[in-house]
Structure 1
Amino acid sequence: MQNPLSAPARTSADTADEPDIRPLMSSFPSGVSVVAALDAEGNPHGMTCSSLASVALSPPTIVACLRTASHTSRAVRESGRFALNLLHERGRATSELFASGAPDRFRRAEWRLPLDACGPHLTDAAHTIADCRVSRTIEVGDHTAVLGEVIGVTVVDEAPEPLLYGLRQYAAWSAVTAALSGDAAAGQGEGGGRVGR
């Protein structure tokens, strides 16, 4: 009987047997962000990222998962800094632009680099922006998990509500909450608002 601990390591030839997790992750709706950074020459790079989570409150740390081979990932790792732009519901075109790989994306999007910013701020498409310092990176397969310590947060005044993405389609937070409010009102009108009858 073979010892399972001594099983041979998987090779790239085995990857055809791996399940495709994209349907799984598309069933987990999330907000939409663009990670942006400057390379060593000061050129901006950015990519749409929905693989994002908070890690710790102290020190305030988030994790963003970036495709390792991307120019953005390289700029983030080399500079040790990045800006995380959380997009609002009118930022769908920006999300699609930064997911497209278009080389001129920063010429087609409004952005600025405030004093002490860690990367480009997408001022026309973001409702909140975090400036982050890379504290650690972990390569896993074809992606790199970038842990960033948040050193500053900018909340854009009077920005629209957040943009959402799931099941391979976009949705606006305001539309979702309006629908939920309508459902709740309809339920109360039908006697659904009372508990314990």
Structure 2
Amino acid sequence: MASPVDPEEFTAALRQYPAGVCLLTVQDDIDDVGTTVSAVMSVSAVPPLVAVGLAADGYPAEVLGAVGRCALTVLAAEHAIVASRFSSAGRPSARHLLESVPWTRAEHSGAIVLSGGLAALDCRLERLVEAGDHVLALLEVVGVPVLADAARPPLLRLRGRYVDESGGLAGRA
């Protein structure tokens, strides 16, 4: 049964909701894959679980399903350019997009985490759940390799733009 809600109207309504921005990375046998995600939510503290929405037909979801582990870095407002790079279609290896950005590898997943992120989660894939044109990746958090001490502003996505907590454009000097 078709939904009575117009998809464009639905998308426009949800654009009014500010969301935190993360970088999801996966290391497979060939390369490092990354994508910008803003559909991230805490699911449980015991056991520690988060859920991430990914395009069902996208390469990151395919690689995550095959590898079974990933990392999430919570981005600071200063990472707006990084978020833009990883949200573009046809992007090269994650390592090439991060040439001037300090990063390390998470212990369990081996995936890239940004050293300057607000936080990073090392994760094991619990399961993928089909959800329309997306999948929800239910992730068990097995480590927290980055947890920033300083209170830097987070990167948010609002109305199709990256903004800081004040609503101003992020990543500008």
Interval containing the TM-score (normalised by the shorter chain): 0.7 to 0.9
Q: TM-score under structure 1 normalisation?
A: 0.73
Provide the alpha-carbon RMSD of the alignment: 2.0
Pick from 29, 32, 38: which aligns with 2:18?
29
Q: TM-score under structure 2 normalisation?
A: 0.83
* CA shift for structure 1 position 19: 1.8
Whose relative contact order is higher, 1 or 2, with alpha carbons under 8 Å and at least 6 apart? 2
**Stretches of 4+ aligned residues off by more than 6 angstroms:** none
1: CA distance, partners of 2:110 / 2:42: 18
Q: Which range moved further: 46-55 or 115-124?
A: 115-124
Among the aligned pairs, what percent are the same residue? 25
Which residue of structure 1 aligns with residue 156 of structure 2? Answer: 164
Which residue of structure 2 aligns with residue 113 of structure 1? Answer: 105
2:74 counterpart of 1:86: yes
**SS of aligned partner of 1:129:** strand
Pick from 79, 87, 91: which aligns with 1:99?
87
Which residue of structure 2 aligns with residue 6 of structure 1? Answer: none
Equivalent position amino acid for 2:152 in 1: P
**SS of aligned partner of 1:82:** strand
Which residue of structure 1 aligns with residue 48 of structure 2? Answer: 60
- Higher strand content, 1 or 2: 2
Structure 1 residues without counterparts, runs of 5 or longer: 1-9, 177-197
Q: 1:42 to 1:120 in 2, by over 3 A?
A: farther
- Higher helix content, 1 or 2: 1
* CA shift for structure 1 position 167: 1.6
Structure 2 residues without counterparts, runs of 5 or longer: 168-173
The structure whose Rg is larger is: 1
Q: 1:113 to 1:29 in 2, by over 3 A?
A: same
2:141 counterpart of 1:150: yes
**SS of aligned partner of 2:86:** helix
**SS of aligned partner of 2:12:** helix
1: CA distance, partners of 2:110 / 2:51: 15
Q: Give the number of equivalent residue pairs.
A: 160
The answer to whether the 8 A contact 1:98-1:105 is kept is no
Q: Map residues 35-74 of structure 1 onto 2, 5 A cutoff.
A: 35-39=24-28, 41-74=29-62
Which residue of structure 2 aligns with residue 180 of structure 1? Answer: none
